[in-house]
Every structure is written in C-alpha cells, then in structure tokens.
C-alpha cells in the first residue's frame, strides 16, 4: 500500500489536537479554581467534602484516560513501523514521519465500529456523551456556570467522563438560581382556567422553536452515529464523524428556553441508545457469543478500552453524583 508522505495537514491537526486538549484542561481547571475562590465563603456545609470526592474521581478518570489513549497511540505507531519497515528507535524524526503517514483516525474508527464485538460498547459510549451534553447545557445555564463553552470543547476533545466530573464540581460551587414560588390562583368565574395557566406559564402556549431544534439535533445525532459502521472505509467517514461531534454543541448554542425540552430529548436518547446498544449485544449472543464474551469485548483493542472504560467511569461518577 503506498504511503502518503505529504500529509502535513494531518500531522498539524494531530499536534493541534494535543495542544487544544492541554489548553482546555488548564483553562477549565483555572476556571474552577477562580470560581471556587469567588464563592468559597458562600458554599453550604459539606460542599468542600463533595468537591474533594469529585476531584479524586476526576483524577482517576484522567489517569485511566491518559493510559488508554497512550495505548491507542502506541498501537498506531507500532502498526506504522510494521507497514513501513521502520527499524529505528523512536525519535523526533520518526514521530514526525508517523504523524504524517499514519491512518490513525481511520484505524481508530475501524477498531470501534468494525472489530467484532466492540460496536455495542461504542454505541453506549456515544449515547452517554450526548446525554452529558444535554445535562451540562440544561444545568450549566440554570446555575450560571462560568465559561460553560470550555466544558463543551473539552468534552469534544477527550472522552467525556473527565469533563463530566469537572462539571459536577462546577455545579457544587455554582450559585443556585432561585426558583419562583408560583402558585395557581383561584380561578375566577369570569376567567377561564386555561387563560390563567397561560399567564403564569406563558412558555406553554408559545411555540418553542429552539426546543424543537434541540429534539431534531438529538434525532440527527442518533441517525448519524448509526450510519458510522457502514462508512468506515468510505470517503465520507470523516464527515460522518464530524456531524455528531458538531451536534454535541447544539444544546450549548441554543437559547435557554430550549432547555425546557431537555427531558424529552434525553428520554428519546435513552430509548434509542438503549435499543441500539442492546440490539448489537443481542446480535452477538444470537451468533454464538456468550454474555461474558460480549462484556469482555471491552478489552478487544485500545480504542474500545479507551471509550469503554471512560463510559464505566462516567456511569459510576453519575451514581456518586446522585448520592452526594
């Protein structure tokens, strides 16, 4: 197979990806530290212990993530050395040549979507990622989390559990938005009850176009991720990867009124994601895989391990968040 020696754009993107990840991590952590200092005297009792617990989980997430992503890179480097016959030790020149010539993104997609037994882990992880985006948009806007955009960018660059836990820390620190204590008035004989409800909750009667767009983007996300297994060797692979990544920003970009339909969007995502995930898992069982083998496919290859372990940490962290 001919090697493309001139893929400088791919090399630059690779370096830019790493630089963007480091910048976003530092920026989000700096934001949290600054936010904590501004709110330290107003935090309720027990907030500090919650922050310490979540910080420990964030450290665990980042450690596992770093280890798994390094495995992915080492696998790609090893495969490149075998294809090119490179016998040299790792050096700056060799790394530069690898970044120019490797097919890292396509190999990554193939391991996630084509390798036998791994695809159901991939569906579960992508469903979870969109769920975290919906949650961050809804709660982040309500609680006025500063630099919310940075959490979304970081969640795009890295698997989402690390960002998810950092957002939980921001939620602990954030000032709670007071909820209006509105009660239904007694209905006058001269006023219809439906008119009274419209006065108190005008959003019920107003068309929520941004909320509809949120639902539409969620549907499109599910469709595009379901098409990915059929495009791994297609020229449109990178486009189909880009579409769901961009759609993860939609909950943040829409106005706050869109959050009124977060629960229906989340419900649709849970239902379709569960169906897609278990349909793939059931397919394996029907074709002779045991449940134990299906679960063990988590360790099939480095990309699946990176995404799968991140999913498990994300789910465990959400359970901790619900309990504290």
164-207: per-residue pLDDT in tens?
Answer: 999 999 999 986 544 455 444 444 444 454 554 444 444 444 44
Q: Is residue 124 part of a domain?
A: yes
Domain membership of residue 3 (yes or no) is: no
Ramachandran angles phi, psi of 91, nearest 5°: -145, 175
Query: Is position 54 within any domain?
Result: yes
The domain of 98 spans 8-176+186-323
Whole-angstrom distance, CA of residue 174 vs CA of residue 179: 15
Model pLDDT, residue 107: 72
User: In the block, which residue shows the tokens 């009850």?
Assistant: 193
**Residue 44 Cα distances to 95, 144, 169, 304, 320, angstroms:** 50, 17, 14, 40, 19
**pLDDT score at 163:** 96
Rounded CA separation 137/141 (Å):
6
Any domain includes 260: yes
300 DSSP 8-state letter: S
Widest distance between CA atoms in the chain: 90
Whether 2 is covered by a domain: the verdict is no
As given in the structure block, the two tokens for residue 148 are: 């919310």
**Most confident option among 87-101, 219-233, 288-302:** 219-233
Closest CA to 106 of 236, 215, 268, 6: 236
More confident residue, 212 or 320: 320
Domain presence at residue 66: yes
What is the Cβ-side half-sphere exposure of residue 95, based on CA atoms within 13 angstroms? 8
Q: Is residue 171 part of a domain?
A: yes
- Please give the pLDDT value at position 87: 64
The pLDDT > 70 percentage for the chain reads 73
For residues 160 and 170, give the distance between their C-alpha atoms in angstroms, rounded to a whole number.
15
Contact 119, 113 (CB under 8 A): yes
Per-residue pLDDT averaged across 37-62, rounded? 90
Of residues 241 and 156, more confidently modeled? 156
The dihedral through the CA atoms of 238, 121, 308, 75 has a sign that is negative
Say which residue, 170 or 228, is predicted with more confidence: 170
Average pLDDT, integer, range 300-323: 91
The CA distance from 95 to 238, in Å, is 23
109, 116, 115: which is closest to 245 by C-alpha? Answer: 109
Residue 181 in any domain: the answer is no
Q: Are 184 and 200 in contact, with CB atoms under 8 Å apart? A: yes
Structure tokens at 159: 């698997």
Could you identify the residue written with the tokens 């449940």? 291
Sign of the alpha-carbon torsion through 280, 242, 164, 43: negative
pLDDT of residue 204: 44
- Locate tokens 């539409």: which residue? 216
Nearest to 167 by CA among 191, 142, 189: 142
At 98, which helix (H) or strand (E)?
Answer: helix 92-101
Tally the domains of the chain: 1
């Amino acid at each position: 197979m001919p090697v493309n020696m001139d893929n400088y754009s791919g090399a630059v993107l690779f370096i830019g990806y790493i630089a963007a990840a480091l910048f976003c991590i530092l920026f989000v952590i700096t934001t949290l530290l600054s936010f904590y200092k501004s709110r330290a005297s107003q935090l309720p009792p027990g907030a500090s212990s919650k922050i310490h617990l979540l910080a420990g989980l964030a450290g665990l997430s980042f450690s596992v993530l770093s280890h798994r992503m390094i495995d992915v890179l080492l696998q790609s480097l090893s495969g490149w050395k075998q294809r090119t016959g490179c016998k040299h030790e790792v050096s700056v020149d060799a790394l530069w040549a690898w970044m120019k010539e490797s097919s890292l993104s396509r190999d990554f997609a193939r391991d996630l979507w084509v390798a036998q037994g791994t695809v159901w882990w991939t569906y579960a992880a992508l469903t979870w990622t969109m769920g975290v985006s919906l949650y961050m948009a809804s709660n982040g806007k309500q609680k006025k989390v500063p630099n919310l955009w940075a959490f979304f960018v970081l969640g795009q660059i890295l698997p989402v559990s690390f960002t998810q836990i950092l957002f939980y820390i921001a939620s602990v620190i954030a000032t709670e938005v007071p909820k209006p204590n509105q009660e239904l008035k007694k209905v006058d004989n001269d006023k219809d009850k439906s008119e009274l409800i419209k006065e108190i909750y005008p959003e019920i009667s107003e068309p929520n176009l941004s909320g509809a767009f949120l639902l539409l983007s969620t549907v499109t996300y599910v469709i595009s991720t379901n098409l990915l297994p059929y495009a791994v060797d297609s020229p449109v692979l990178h486009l189909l990867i880009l579409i769901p990544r961009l759609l993860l920003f939609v909950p943040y970009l829409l106005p706050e009124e869109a959050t009124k339909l977060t629960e229906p969007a989340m419900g649709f995502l849970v239902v379709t994601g569960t169906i897609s995930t278990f349909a793939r898992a059931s397919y394996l069982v029907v074709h002779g895989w045991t449940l134990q083998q299906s679960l063990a496919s988590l360790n099939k290859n480095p990309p699946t391990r990176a995404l799968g372990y991140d999913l498990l940490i994300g789910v465990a962290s959400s359970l901790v968040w619900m309990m504290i």
